[in-house]
Every structure is written in C-alpha cells, then in structure tokens.
Amino acid sequence: MENLQALKQRFGIIGNDIHLNRALEKAVRVAPTDISVLVTGESGVGKESIPKIIHSLSHRKHAKYIAVNCGAIPEGTIDSELFGHEKGAFTGATQDRKGYFEVADGGTIFLDEVGELPLTTQVRLLRVLENGEFIKVGSSKVLKTNVRIVAATNVNMQYAIEKEKFREDLYYRLSTVEISLPALRDRNQDIHLLFRKFASDFAQKYRMPSIRLDDNAVNILLNYSFPGNIRQLKNLAEQISVIEEERTITALKLKQYLPDNNGNLPAIVGGNKKENDFSSERDIMYKILFDMRNDINDLKKLTLDLMKNGNIEEVQEEHHRLIEKIYGNQDTEKTNVEVLNIPQNSSTEKEYDFIETIEEDESLSLQDKEIEMIKKSLEKNNNKRKLAAKELGISERTLYRKIKQYDL
C-alpha cells in the first residue's frame, strides 16, 4: 500500500476509493509486460493518468511516449498522422512524413478516444497489433514498428460493435487487459478531498486565501452527480476561487455554481432528430404491428382447430390465456368476446361465419394502410410532396418512390 501511495503522489492522483486503487494496482501489474491495455470510463475521470503510469513503470520508459486524441483528428488525415505518408500521396503532401507509429518505435502510444477511429483506420491498427506492420499512405512498402499500445474510450464498446461502428476483433486485441476507472459520483468519499486539493492549488496559483465549504455546502457537494466528473469539479473550484470574495462558501452560494442536471438522470445525447431516427421508430412500430398480427393469427388458427373438435370450453380457456399475452392484464373476459365473438352454443353455420371473418381480416395489410396514409397526406397538402413527406416523417425522395411504386 505504501508503493500505491507513492505512485499517487508521483502522478498527482487524489483519493482512496477501492475501485480507484484496484485500477492503479492493475496498471502497476501490467506495466512490465507488452500487453495491450484498454482504459474505460466516463469523460473526465482521469483516464490519461493510466497510460503514463504504465509507460513510466515499463522497460520502455526511456523511449518515446506519444498521446494521440483520435477524436480530434479529421477522418481524412488520421491515417497520415498515425502511419505517415509519402511525398505526393495526396494534395498538399509536399514531402515524406513519419507517422506516430514510426516515431514512437520502441516506446508507447496512447490512443485516447479510440472508439472514434474510422473503420478503415481500425483495419490498419489491427495489423499493427497483430504483427507490428504498417504501410504509409501512398506507399506499398511494409514497415515494422515495436510499440506498446494503450487505448482509452468513454464509448460503450459492446454497443458500438453491435452498431458496426467498431470492429469486434480490434476490440479484443486492444482489451487484453481492461482497466475501468470509476465515475466521481461513485467515489463519494473522495469528492471533498479533491475539492480541497483543487482549492489549495488555485489559491497558490492566484495568490489568494484558499476557499472552504461550510458543512451544508459539503453535503450539497457530496450529493451532486457531477456528470463532468473530476474535470467539472476542478472547474468548479477554480470558478469559486476567482469570483467569490468571501472565502467561506455556503450551500446557497455553492448551488449557484452547480447546473441543474436533474439528479442522476442520464443525459440525452443529440437533441435534434434526424430522418434516420424517424426511420428507426417506424421500423420498431412495424415490427410491433407484425408481432401483434402474428399473435392474433395464431389465436384465430388455434380457435378453428379447437372448434373443429367441438370443445368450446377449451377454446375459451385457451383464448383467455392468449388474450392476456397480447393485451396484458385487462378485462380478458370482455376482450375475449369482443375479439372472437364466440357464443356458448356455437353452430356449424356460425363456425363458417367466423372463418370468413378471418379471411377478410387477412386481406388487410400494412401496405394498404401505408397507401391510405400517403393518399390522405397528399390530399391534405394539396398534392405538395414536400409538405406531405414532412408530415409522414419520410424524405421527399422516399415519398416519390412510393408514389411511383403504388401508382398513386
């Protein structure tokens, strides 16, 4: 534990949270190896400290350490930044350029926000991880490099893989060892300790007395969720240190600096809906409708089979079970009658009436409904496709295609 405390002092890490200590212990253990490490955690938790620790405790500590923010480099130039390029490879390439993997040969590269890498770059990175080979942009010559890769991300990688935004094979290559850093709200005992450290640092920087929180303000601080994590807490301490003349901060004063983020509710990323979002919602609604229709069709087919056997009580009992599945815990006895309309004494003539009803229902389709909706929308908007498409939540091009398809 003494070694861990010395490590914290060396890298300016504050806190005694058990999850934080576990992350640091894993970093110390993997440092002497060449294993690839993936550091995960929310934005602002201090992920950049882990690769520095790993590099400084490894046999590569005297070689180069390069940190690359993958999310800050444009997609069109990131391959050139990482792997270099040949003269004339593209417009503006007036001379040869070494990439980070060539410059850091023998050292460590930290790929921050690795989840933002384009898929084409992910393929190149996978090759480096597998055999240490890469090719410069505009060249056909295979080069070798010997680098230790430590990556970090605040992206949910499993979700990114499902959405085909990130290669699954690359993820498993990068995450030979995964080190997860806890969010600040999960390190409750460290929040005030960190605030006091930041307040002391800014007091020295700006040559003024250090601020302190009264007891009520401390309670407010500990119960705040800090969506921006340590970065937000540090900014908070700096703002108050500079702006407030009174050095003792009350709860009322502290609240003025804490934005209302509705407690611990998750933030909604991207407030504006795009056409693809509407498309996804329609796909979900169509799927629900198809599933409901299939359930009802199964219900009707089962009814016919049972009625042919003449056991009407068994029919109603089975209907009761399936109706509950489709409509939930409603008045199933009433729903049973409304949907199926089966009298206690069912004759052969009534049975055939029921079969005809099923056949009529089967003729209805989502395509018919779609045609009907398009017709109504066009009539409502005086055949103006742009307004109709907007009302239907689809693009004008899609609407034009459907008009041609259905010969409207």
pLDDT single digits (tens) 75-132: 889 999 999 999 998 888 899 999 999 999 999 999 999 999 999 999 999 999 999 9
Which pairing describes strands 248-249 and 212-213: parallel, antiparallel, or unpaired? Answer: parallel
Task: Answer yes or no: are the C-beta atoms of 342 and 316 closer than 8 Å.
Answer: yes
Q: What is the pLDDT of residue 238?
A: 96
| Rg value, the chain, Cα | 32
- Kindly report, residue by residue over 171-207, the tens digit of the pLDDT: 999 999 999 999 999 999 999 999 999 999 999 999 9
pTM above 0.95, yes or no: no
DSSP 80-132: HHHH-B-TTSSTT--S-B--HHHHTTTSEEEEETGGG--HHHHHHHHHHHHHS
Structural domains in the chain? 2-182 (3.40.50.300), 185-255 (1.10.8.60), 282-364 (no CATH), 367-406 (1.10.10)
Pair of tokens at residue 355: 């079969």
The pLDDT score that the predictor gives to residue 152 is 97
Residue bearing the bigger pLDDT, 119 or 389:
119
Contact present, 388 and 399 (Cβ < 8 Å): yes
Which amino acid appears at position 15 of this protein? G
Neighbours of 266 (CB within 10 A): 8
More confidently predicted of 399 and 144: 144
Say whether 259 sits in a helix, a strand or coil.
coil
Query: Which tens digit of pLDDT belongs to each residue from 290-340?
Result: 677 777 777 666 666 666 665 556 556 666 666 665 555 545 444 444 444
